[in-house]
Amino acid sequence: MEIAPPVDDADVPRYWRELGLPGLVDTHVHFLPPRVEAKVWQYFAEGEKHYGVDWPLAYARPVEERLGQLEQLGVRAFPTLPYPHKAGMAAWLNDWSADFAGTDPRILQSATFYPEPEAPFYVAEALERGARIFKVHVQVGRYDPRDPLLDAVWGRLEETGTPVVIHCGSGPLRGEHTGPVPVTGLLDRHPRLQLIIAHLGMPEYRDFLEIAERFERVHLDTTMFATDFTERLMPFDHADLPRLADLRDKVLLGSDFPSIPYAYAHQLQALHRLGLGDDWLRAVLWHNGARLFTIEA
């Protein structure tokens, strides 16, 4: 019997159960300190000014409601992915994230860094406290990931194999250091970094598919990928679907919850309609993330 995609959020558990999965592992979720979160949400509320399109937030709700929503969806593991936009923020973001992760066993303790002299020290501290995933945002931070101030950080993360979600594509906004060139340069120096390319590298999808093919430990996350919203702005060339199919074991579910302008279910609908098959969906929605973060069924 052919499995139908979820019609809405309430139908998501039916969908993953029919796929034979115990739930979802979502690699791209945000929970931030209240003052930071408020500023981020305000930025999205002004979406027309920044992006040229409205960006209504579907899940701009209190923390407990959002945690409950993820539970109802069946998201069994998720990070919080803090990221600084200037020096002096990363260490306290890491402290807040570690404390927040201690409130819910589903949370993958997250951390971040910025090119500053202190970075190797607070990254080491974050790892000692149990950080399981890091987040960097090249466009928001406005820095080159190859900055010499980060050499020791990347070296340590390569050594530990800790996953790093990196927003490095030029969508939805281009930055001075976005695109495939800085990331390829970084990986030439540290080829065994466990990078997770956010948003499948949109809009430079093809370049980042090539990077994932070339470097053994590079993954791609599906955040906002193939949704109606993104396809209107930065469409994916379906001629590259066979390459995406071949990368099945390196693609991770990402949603960008709660900062998405549509229902969570739509991300799953978008992946389903790619037509890459149930085995591909099972790998992306559960198996790859569960393997990367050692999540038991």
Instruction: Evaluate whether 213 touches 249 at the Cβ level (below 8 Å).
Output: no
The H or E element spanning position 280 is helix 278-282
What's residue 1's pLDDT?
Answer: 77
Q: For 258-282, how does the pLDDT look when each residue is reduced to its tens digit (9 = 90+)?
A: 999 999 999 999 999 999 999 999 9
**pLDDT of the residue at 46:** 85
* Residue 187, pLDDT above cutoff 80: yes
pLDDT at 52: 87
SS3 state at 216: coil
- DSSP-derived letter for residue 81 is -
User: pLDDT-based confidence at 49, cuts 50/70/90?
Assistant: confident
pLDDT at position 47 over 80:
no
Taking 90 as the threshold, does the pLDDT of residue 177 lie above it? yes
Indicate the length of the chain as a whole number: 297
Task: Please report which confidence band the pLDDT of residue 96 belongs to, taking 50, 70 and 90 as the band edges.
Answer: very high
pLDDT by residue (tens digit) across 215-248? 999 999 999 999 999 999 999 999 999 999 999 9
At residue 51, the pLDDT reads 87
The two tokens of residue 131 are 């950080």
- Lowest average pLDDT, out of 41-50, 51-60, 219-228, goes to 41-50
174: its two tokens: 């281009």
Q: CB of 228 within 8 A of CB of 266?
A: yes
What residues contact residue 34 under an 8 Å CB cut-off, 6+ apart? none
Task: Give tens-digit pLDDT for 115-150.
Answer: 999 999 999 999 999 999 999 999 999 999 999 999
The whole-chain average pLDDT of the chain stands at 97
- What is the biggest distance separating any 2 CA atoms in the chain, rounded to whole angstroms? 57
Angle of CA points 3, 5, 6, to nearest 5°: 125
Helix (H) or strand (E) holding 197: strand 195-197
110-112: strand order across its sheet: 110-112, 133-137, 164-167, 195-197, 219-221, 251-252
**Contact present, 84 and 36 (Cβ < 8 Å):** no
Nearest alpha-carbon partner for 25 in 78, 89, 69: 78
How far is residue 66's CA from residue 253's CA, in Å, rounded to a whole number?
A: 18
Flag whether pLDDT at 254 surpasses 80.
yes
Residue 165: which H helix or E strand, with range? Answer: strand 164-167
Cβ atoms of 219 and 288 within 8 Å: the answer is: yes
Which of 257, 293, 197 has the alpha carbon at shortest distance from 12?
257
**Mean pLDDT score, 20-42:** 97
| pLDDT of the residue at 239 | 98
What is the model's pTM? 0.97
We find that the CATH architecture of domain 9-293 is: Alpha-Beta Barrel (3.20)
Q: Where are the domains of the chain?
A: 9-293
